[in-house]
Structure 1
Amino acid sequence: MTESDSTPPPAPLATATGAARSSPVVPVERRRARLTAMIVACALFMQNLDSTVIATALPTMARAFGADPVHMNVALTAYLLSLAVFIPASGWMADRFGARNVFRVAIAVFTLASVLCGSAQSLSSLVVFRVLQGLGGAMMLPVGRLLLLRNTPKSDLVAVMAWFTTPSLIGPVVGPPLGGFLTTYFSWRLVFDINIPIGIIGIVLVTLFIEDVREPSDSRFDWVGFAFAGLSLGCLMFGLETVGRGIAPEWLTGATLGVGLLAGLAYALHARRHPAPLLDFTLLRYRTFLVSVIGGTLFRVGVGAIPFLLPMMLQLTFGQSAVQSGLITFASAAGALVMKPVAMAVLRRFGFRDTLLCNGILSALLLALCAGFNPGWPVVAIYAVLLAGGFFRSLQFTAYNALAFDDIPRTRMSAATSLYSTIQQVSLTLGISVGAASLTVAMALRGETAPGLGDFSVAFLVVALVSLLAAPTSLGMSRNAASEMSGHRQRD
């Protein structure tokens, strides 16, 4: 947006008059929006990279701490739980203290926590520092998205969101092989120390180049809602992380999920009576937001299982090393990068509804093709499937992330980013749980304790089916939905 909150956004590029196109305002707005997108994307890449990069370093860290390697998973879970608990508060924080200020502090907290994690001398201290990292990360994702929404003309939002979605696709793929490389040839502490220069540069760039456009709010913090939402999300995330993976006893997983559901119900009842709840479910009344939430959740469940299933399948059934499997899975990230210049042209030609429908079906089919992978496949063919899959999945994410905020009033943007980011985090974790549960059931049906190639095939087909269910949700809106963003015009 412009420097004054009261100034209307520039006309969409697809319908702008010649006078509007010749005005210097639109290029200035566009440059500012894209610069903001690149700065935010770098910070989010740091966050997404960190959430997965330590996975391959855990055995080495266990030896350094003298801890049981099985117990090291708590370092991963602590971070995810912290994210889930604190994300709902991000919207209120941004309105109260300013989105740029909160984003800058979030980077600082995350970077400081990285330093502390890299100097940890025991598993218990590492867990405490990972919780602190989660606090910083919980503010970065939704507040970074809010900065983009408030600094970007609607006609440029798709292009900007294309950059915003990149970290979520590349980070989980790059993280494990990078962590293995640093741990093998240098030290596991570098897994955390690589965040230091990124964080410092991010703070400087945010200070210099990102405008602090805010929506003042005098609403009081919803402490009761925060308690219910935090308990619900924390328990649900813990339960989803442990179900079917042998990390925790089955009774504990079941009890945690039950408490999470009850706390979620309590929050829903509380939110109906509160004038400004942290997670405002009335936002689901906006059609484009509802379609994006439902379709995006189903799609992310399918995609969220890939970083869990694919490397494990390549290592356990193909006999590949961690580095070899990492290089192959990186193909999906490369496909995501190739998509960036194409997204706007596709949406302008076909619109959001038809793009999400057709591209969603194609993405699910490419995910299902992974079920057919076997050691006899040429490496080039595997690369081709993953490259194409990354391309079309990235297009789908870009469309969902832009579509969600088309109808949302400016005054409710912060609440919308909190709710959307919370649902997004849960759905990605649910994807890992669905993949793990499918793998476990397939093994149980065969009476085996170790997964075979057929078990991975079943798991890929299950998550592909869930992803496929997302495509028809786009039929709940018109062909011209969000046309100001896409520039698409067609009669229904």
Structure 2
Amino acid sequence: MNATPTHQALDPEFRLLVLLVSIGFFMQGLDSTIINTALPAIAKNLQEDPLRMHGVVVAYVLSVAACIPLSGWLADRFGVRNIYFSAIIIFSLASLGCAWAESLNELLIYRVFQGIGGAFLLPVGRLAMLKIIPRTQFLAAMSLMSLAGLIGPLIGPTLGGWMVEYMSVRWIFLINLPIGILGALITLKAMPNVLEPTVARFDFGGFILLIIAMVSLCLGIENFASPQHPLWWSLALILAGLVASLIYAYHSHTHQNALFRSKLFKNKIYSIGILGNFFARLGGNSIPFLLPLMLQVAFGFEPFMTGLLMIPTVLGSLASKPIIRSIVQRFGYRRVLLVNTLLVGLCIASFSLTTADTPLWLRTMHFFIFGVLNSLQFVSMNTLTLKDLNQQDASSGNSFLSMIMMLSMSIGVALASTLVNMLGAYYGADNLVAAFHMALICLGCINIIAAYIFWHIPKNTPV
């Protein structure tokens, strides 16, 4: 019987590669969060309503979700270096386009291209490390890379607020250019162009069905409160999304080379985890978008102060990381996710109790607690979802989970914005605080409903 290989420190020859993948992870993490505190300023710059700027977030996240299934196949077919280099160039050029966009529609187009570049950065970078770095050193490499993923969201909101207030809105996009140029140069030096000798045909039919499903559902929810589109248009989009989803479900069952085979969902734990991830993230993922908007538009806070106030949420997430494993081991997945889903829902709803006059210490503590609970929720859900997959289904299952996470984020942001706009029309422009408060209560209730999904986790599920 072979001994389990021991984990080793990272050899110097692989450090530049890990730095490169970390740059991509940092760019993606930074860009996902730096925009949130800058949305009202971008709206002012483009002469748009700040409550209708959610498309800037949705366009990016939805593009990432749509392109994740394509990333692995392209890397195998054309080589990891070629695709990673292309991703950095696309991301950087799209960032330049975003900086100089003169209208909202122009900005949305560039955000879509930014999302396409961002979709390839992390999966292809991680795939390159998996193919090049020896298994005994992979844990050390992943640990180093994950630090970059934590730094991006930590500094993103504050950096965005500071740039908007003391520099220019354009700089939240232009900051990607020097990072991108550095990344492109290191790619040519540090990443070999590893590719697979034989690659199966890509399931373009299934890929198109998935894009139609995701885009239709998201746009249908996003346009629900839009005065520019009739109600039937939104309902038709949602129906088209549901029909495309059902056709894909049949396709995944009958097509031999489907992106995500239906057999994945014969695993009960995986199915519960995917459903739970989708519904539980609708509220949790919309909060980093909704809170900065409420603080600035409804409470009148400055962008830099808003960014500083978001730091406790990230610190709460970091503080929870060392204790999550012991909590799950002690209480089990079912009990942890049932209780924590309820707590996250209550915490989201409790943001409706805050006002512009809420003491700073109380607001800081509130955001920190949310960060702890949200991190515990996401890590527990992800671990539960993937833990029972066999080696053959691990890659496909992980890609589908990543896609669902991004889809849930885009729908969550669209839903949060739709709720605020609908409630804003009901309460009137002079009472935006009430609209935000009621939207937070609705999102909290949606999260609490998600606990029903985790109720179906078998009681004896091993950790």
Partner of 1:371: 352
Partner of 2:225: 244
**How much does 1:466 deviate?**
1.9
AA partner of residue 465 (structure 1): C
Partner of 2:200: 219
Q: 1:77–1:238: 8 Å Cα contact kept in structure 2?
A: no
Partner of 2:66: 85
Partner of 1:111: 92
Partner of 1:458: 438
The CA distance in 2 between the partners of 1:299 and 1:225, in whole Å, is 26
The more displaced of 261-270 and 160-169 is 160-169
Find the partner of 1:49 among 33, 36, 51: 33
The CA distance in 2 between the partners of 1:297 and 1:415, in whole Å, is 17
Report 1:111-260 matches (<5 A).
Answer: 111-119=92-100, 126-143=107-124, 167=149, 171=153, 175=156, 178-202=159-183, 218-244=199-225, 246=227, 248-260=229-241
Report 1:355-370 matches (<5 A).
Answer: 355-370=336-351
Find the partner of 2:77 among 89, 93, 96: 96
**How much does 1:101 deviate?**
5.5
The more displaced of 327-336 and 351-360 is 351-360
AA partner of residue 44 (structure 1): Q
Q: 1:57–1:179: 8 Å Cα contact kept in structure 2?
A: no
Partner of 1:486: none
RMSD: 4.3
The CA distance in 2 between the partners of 1:101 and 1:357, in whole Å, is 44
Partner of 2:448: 468
The more displaced of 252-261 and 203-212 is 203-212
**How much does 1:125 deviate?**
5.5
Partner of 2:42: 58
The CA distance in 2 between the partners of 1:384 and 1:219, in whole Å, is 51
The CA distance in 1 between the partners of 2:329 and 2:191, in whole Å, is 28
Q: Deviations over 1:390-440 (max 9, x none)?
A: 012112212223333222233333322332122112211222233334445
Partner of 1:489: none
Find the partner of 1:304 among 257, 260, 285: 285
Report 1:396-407 matches (<5 A).
Answer: 396-407=377-388
The CA distance in 2 between the partners of 1:219 and 1:209, in whole Å, is 28
Cα gap change, 1:452/1:185 in structure 2, threshold over 3 Å: closer, same or farther? closer
Q: 2:24–2:88: 8 Å Cα contact kept in structure 1?
A: no
The CA distance in 2 between the partners of 1:180 and 1:240, in whole Å, is 28
**How much does 1:300 deviate?**
0.7
The CA distance in 2 between the partners of 1:297 and 1:182, in whole Å, is 33
**How much does 1:332 deviate?**
1.1
Report 1:210-359 matches (<5 A).
Answer: 218-244=199-225, 246=227, 248-359=229-340
The CA distance in 2 between the partners of 1:166 and 1:464, in whole Å, is 30
Cα gap change, 1:128/1:455 in structure 2, threshold over 3 Å: closer, same or farther? closer
The CA distance in 1 between the partners of 2:187 and 2:322, in whole Å, is 25
**How much does 1:274 deviate?**
1.1
AA partner of residue 113 (structure 2): L
The CA distance in 2 between the partners of 1:345 and 1:360, in whole Å, is 18
Q: Deviations over 1:55-100 (max 9, x none)?
A: 244235426xxx9989977655543453343233234334434556
Cα gap change, 1:43/1:215 in structure 2, threshold over 3 Å: closer, same or farther? farther
AA partner of residue 48 (structure 1): S
- Sequence identity percentage: 31
**How much does 1:287 deviate?**
3.2
Cα gap change, 1:264/1:287 in structure 2, threshold over 3 Å: closer, same or farther? closer
Q: TM-score, normalised by structure 2?
A: 0.80
Cα gap change, 1:98/1:357 in structure 2, threshold over 3 Å: closer, same or farther? farther
**How much does 1:386 deviate?**
0.9
Cα gap change, 1:119/1:246 in structure 2, threshold over 3 Å: closer, same or farther? same
Cα gap change, 1:344/1:149 in structure 2, threshold over 3 Å: closer, same or farther? farther
Say which SS state the counterpart of residue 221 (structure 1) adopts.
coil
Partner of 1:14: none
AA partner of residue 264 (structure 2): L
Say which SS state the counterpart of residue 243 (structure 1) adopts.
coil
Say which SS state the counterpart of residue 407 (structure 1) adopts.
coil
Say which SS state the counterpart of residue 322 (structure 2) adopts.
coil
1:381 aligns with 2:362: yes
The CA distance in 2 between the partners of 1:240 and 1:183, in whole Å, is 29
Q: Deviations over 1:265-288 (max 9, x none)?
A: 333333332112124343222233
Q: Deviations over 1:277-331 (max 9, x none)?
A: 1243432222332232122112211112213332333334433333333322332
Cα gap change, 1:168/1:226 in structure 2, threshold over 3 Å: closer, same or farther? farther
Partner of 2:397: 416
Cα gap change, 1:439/1:412 in structure 2, threshold over 3 Å: closer, same or farther? same
Say which SS state the counterpart of residue 376 (structure 2) adopts.
helix
The CA distance in 2 between the partners of 1:339 and 1:478, in whole Å, is 25
**How much does 1:463 deviate?**
1.4
Q: TM-score, normalised by structure 1?
A: 0.76
Structure 1: stretches of 5+ with no match in the other structure = 1-6, 12-19, 484-492
Cα gap change, 1:396/1:127 in structure 2, threshold over 3 Å: closer, same or farther? closer
**How much does 1:387 deviate?**
0.4
Q: 1:162–1:343: 8 Å Cα contact kept in structure 2?
A: no
Cα gap change, 1:374/1:245 in structure 2, threshold over 3 Å: closer, same or farther? farther
Say which SS state the counterpart of residue 387 (structure 2) adopts.
coil
